[in-house]
Amino acid sequence: MTSTTGIRRSGPPQAVQKVRDNYFLVQVLLTGSPSADWRRLFYETRLEGSTDFQPRSVEISGALMRFRSEPAAVEPRIKVIDRWVEHANEKEASMSGRNEEQRRKQEEMARESAELGEWNARWAKL
């Protein structure tokens, strides 16, 4: 699991359905329901991993992640998913910093515009 704030696994993987012989639907509980931005960042992750297991192999629904796997591959796939989760958390945190900066710039521009409007109103009859 990760130490970064944001979404994390809140427990171990659990087999929830047998898909076929020696192949299961595996579910992982999360600490919360990820935002749309977080999901997009998770699915866009380009970190190392096997070519047969990519972020799009993981279904995110509410505070759950599900994927299909044979039992021997669950542990390495959980490790990869943890790295993808960490990456999405980091990217989302950096985005929120940029979004906050943009919001402050917009507020400053609105204040300046209002101030210019006040001065222009005072000078309108000169």
Structure confidence by residue, pLDDT tens digits, 80-97: 999 999 999 999 888 876
| Residues of the chain above pLDDT 70, percent | 87
Q: Answer whether residue 126 shows pLDDT above 50.
A: yes
Sign of the alpha-carbon torsion through 30, 35, 37, 40: positive
Q: What is the pTM of this model?
A: 0.71
Confidence grade of residue 1 (pLDDT, cut at 50, 70, 90)? very low
Output the pLDDT for position 12: 96
Q: Answer whether residue 31 shows pLDDT above 90.
A: yes
For residue 20, what are its two tokens?
């076929």
Residue ranges per structural domain of the chain: 14-123
